[in-house]
Amino acid sequence: MDVLVCIKRVPDVAGSVALTEDSMDVDARHVGYAVSPHEECAIELAVQVAKATDGAATVLTVGDEDAVEQLRDALAVGCGAAVLIEVEPRRYGPTDVAAAIADVVRDHEAQGRSYGLVLLGNDAADTGDFQVGVRLAYELGRPVVTGAATVEAAGESLVARVEAPEGAAVFEAPVPAVVTVMEGGVEPRYPSIPGRMKAKRVQIETVTPAREPVGSGRVRLHLPPVPPSQVEVLGKGAEAAPAMVDLLERLGVVR
Amino acid sequence: MASVPTSARVVVIGAGIVGNSLVYHLARLGWRDIVQLDKGALPNPGGSTGHASNFIFPVDHSREMADLTLDSVQQYQEMGVFTESGGIEVARTEERMEELRRRMSSAKAWAIDSELLTPEQVQEKVPFLDPSVIVGGFYTSSVGVVDSLRAGTIMRERAMELGALTVVPTVEVVGLDVEEGRIRRVRTDGGDIEAETVVIACGVWSPQIAQMAGAQIPLTPAVHQMISVGPVPVLAEREGEISFPIVRDMDTFCYERQHGADMEVGSYAHRPILHDPEEIPSIEQAKLSPTEMPFTAEDFDQQLEEALELMPEILGDEKAEMRYAINGLLSLTPDGAPILGETPEVKGLWSAAAVWIKEGPGVGRAVAEWMTDGLPEIDLGHSDIARFYPHQRTREHIRARTSEAFNKTYGIVHPSEQWSSDRSSRLSPMYADEVARGAMFFETAGWERPHWYESNARLLEEYGDRVMPREHEWDSRWWSPIINAEHLAMRDRAGIVDLTAFAIFDVVGPGALDAVQRIVVAQADVSLGRVIYTPVLDERGGFRSDLTVMRLAHDRFRVVTGGAHGMVDLKWFADRMPSDGSAQVVDRTSAYSTIGLWGPRARDILGELTRDDISHTGFGFGTCRDIQVGSLQVLASRISYVGELGWELHLPMEHGAKLWSMLHEVGEGHGAVPVGIGVYATTGRLEKGYRAYGYELDSERTIVEAGMQRPKVKVADFVGREAYVKQREEEPRTVLCTLTVDDHTSASGTKRYMLGGEPIVSRDGGPLVDGHGHRPYVTTAGSAPSLGKHVLLAYLPPSEAEVGNQLAVSYMEELYPVTVGSADSTSLFDPDNERLKA
Residues B468-478 pLDDT 10s: 999 999 999 99
The predicted-structure confidence for B366-380, as pLDDT tens digits, reads as follows 999 999 999 999 999
Positive or negative, the CA dihedral B95, B101, B107, B108 is: negative
Chain B partners within 8 Å of A31 (Cβ): 281, 285-287, 294
Domain positions in chain B are 503-587, 731-838
* Mutation target among B321, B323, B324, B326 for the A interface, most CBs of A within 10 A: B321
Lowest mean pLDDT among A215-229, B458-472, B787-801: A215-229
User: Taking CA atoms, what residue in A is nearest to B300?
Assistant: A196
The verdict on A12 touching B (C-beta cutoff 8 Å) is: yes
Chain A partners within 8 Å of B283 (Cβ): 15
* Residue B189 clears pLDDT 70, i.e. is over it: yes
User: Taking CA atoms, what residue in A is nearest to B292?
Assistant: A31
The predicted-structure confidence for A104-134, as pLDDT tens digits, reads as follows 999 999 999 999 999 999 998 888 889 999 9
Q: What mean pLDDT do residues B580-600 have?
A: 98
Confidence of residue B405 (pLDDT cuts 50, 70, 90): confident
Q: What mean pLDDT do residues B385-412 have?
A: 91
* Residue A136 clears pLDDT 70, i.e. is over it: yes
Chain B partners within 8 Å of A189 (Cβ): 321
- What's the confidence (pLDDT) of residue B275? 83
Domain positions in chain A are 2-207
What does pLDDT average to over chain B? 95
For residue B259, give the nearest of B85, B127, B38 by alpha carbon: B85
The predicted-structure confidence for B416-439, as pLDDT tens digits, reads as follows 999 999 999 999 999 999 999 999
Interchain CB contacts (distance < 8 Å): A and B: 73
The verdict on A142 touching B (C-beta cutoff 8 Å) is: no
The verdict on A192 touching B (C-beta cutoff 8 Å) is: yes
- What's the confidence (pLDDT) of residue B237? 85
- What's the confidence (pLDDT) of residue B613? 98
- What's the confidence (pLDDT) of residue B80? 97
The verdict on B488 touching A (C-beta cutoff 8 Å) is: no
Q: What mean pLDDT do residues B562-591 have?
A: 96
CA distance B766 to B760: 9
Lowest mean pLDDT among A245-254, B594-603, B679-688: A245-254
Right CATH for B503-587 from 3.40.47.10, 3.40.50.620, 3.30.70.1400, 3.40.50.720: 3.30.70.1400
Is the CB of A12 less than 8 angstroms away from the CB of B287? Answer: yes
Please report how the helices A193-201 and B301-310 are oriented relative to each other, as an axis angle in degrees rounded to 10.
130
Alpha carbon dihedral B625, B628, B634, B635, in 10-degree steps, equals 0
CA distance B675 to B513: 35
The predicted-structure confidence for B197-256, as pLDDT tens digits, reads as follows 999 999 999 999 999 999 999 999 999 999 999 899 888 888 788 999 999 999 998 999
The verdict on B305 touching A (C-beta cutoff 8 Å) is: yes
Q: Contact, B30 vs B190, CB < 8 A?
A: no
* Residue B1 clears pLDDT 70, i.e. is over it: no
> Could you give the C-alpha distances from B279 to B146, B174, B282, B329, in angstroms and in order?
30, 17, 9, 12
Chain B partners within 8 Å of A15 (Cβ): 283-287
Query: Which member of B546, B569, B698, B770 is catalytic?
Result: B546
Residue B486, C-beta contacts closer than 8 angstroms, at least 6 positions apart = B452, B453, B456, B459, B495, B673, B674, B675, B676, B678, B679
Chain B partners within 8 Å of A13 (Cβ): 287
The verdict on A37 touching B (C-beta cutoff 8 Å) is: no
The predicted-structure confidence for A204-232, as pLDDT tens digits, reads as follows 999 999 889 999 888 888 888 877 777 78
To the query of whether residue B224 is one of the catalytic residues in this protein, the response is: yes
To the query of whether residue B744 is one of the catalytic residues in this protein, the response is: no
* Mutation target among A20, A29, A30 for the B interface, most CBs of B within 10 A: A30
For residue B20, give the nearest of B343, B291, B360 by alpha carbon: B360
ipTM greater than 0.95: no
Is the CB of A192 less than 8 angstroms away from the CB of B320? Answer: yes
User: For B315, phi and psi rounded to 5 degrees?
Assistant: -80, -20
The predicted-structure confidence for B9-28, as pLDDT tens digits, reads as follows 999 999 999 999 999 999 99
- What's the confidence (pLDDT) of residue A226? 78
User: Taking CA atoms, what residue in A is nearest to B298?
Assistant: A69
For residue B176, give the nearest of B282, B37, B61, B77 by alpha carbon: B37
CA distance A57 to A51: 8
For A103, which DSSP code? H
Task: Specify which of A232-246, B308-322, B588-602 reaches the highest per-range mean pLDDT.
Answer: B588-602
CB nearest to A193's CB, from B286, B294, B316: B316
Q: What mean pLDDT do residues B513-539 have?
A: 98
The predicted-structure confidence for A142-170, as pLDDT tens digits, reads as follows 999 999 999 999 988 999 999 988 899 99
User: Taking CA atoms, what residue in A is nearest to B315?
Assistant: A193
The verdict on A16 touching B (C-beta cutoff 8 Å) is: yes
**CATH T-level topology, domain B731-838:** Elongation Factor Tu (Ef-tu); domain 3 (2.40.30)
3-class DSSP assignment, residue A111? coil
**Looking at B581-645, which runs of residues are DSSP E strands?**
584-587, 592-598, 624-629, 632-637
Confidence of residue B409 (pLDDT cuts 50, 70, 90): confident
The predicted-structure confidence for B596-655, as pLDDT tens digits, reads as follows 999 999 999 999 999 999 999 999 999 999 999 999 999 999 999 999 999 999 999 999
Confidence of residue B488 (pLDDT cuts 50, 70, 90): very high
Confidence of residue A237 (pLDDT cuts 50, 70, 90): confident
Q: What mean pLDDT do residues B664-688 have?
A: 97
- What's the confidence (pLDDT) of residue B792? 98
Residue B761, C-beta contacts closer than 8 angstroms, at least 6 positions apart = B108, B767, B768, B807, B808, B809, B810, B815
The verdict on A31 touching B (C-beta cutoff 8 Å) is: yes
Is the CB of A15 less than 8 angstroms away from the CB of B283? Answer: yes
User: Taking CA atoms, what residue in A is nearest to B280?
Assistant: A30
Closest-CA distance of chain B to residue A32, Å? 5
- What's the confidence (pLDDT) of residue B718? 98
Q: In terms of CATH, what superfamily is A2-207?
A: HUPs (3.40.50.620)
Is the CB of B279 less than 8 angstroms away from the CB of A30? Answer: yes
Is the CB of B287 less than 8 angstroms away from the CB of A191? Answer: no
- What's the confidence (pLDDT) of residue B569? 97
Confidence of residue B836 (pLDDT cuts 50, 70, 90): very high
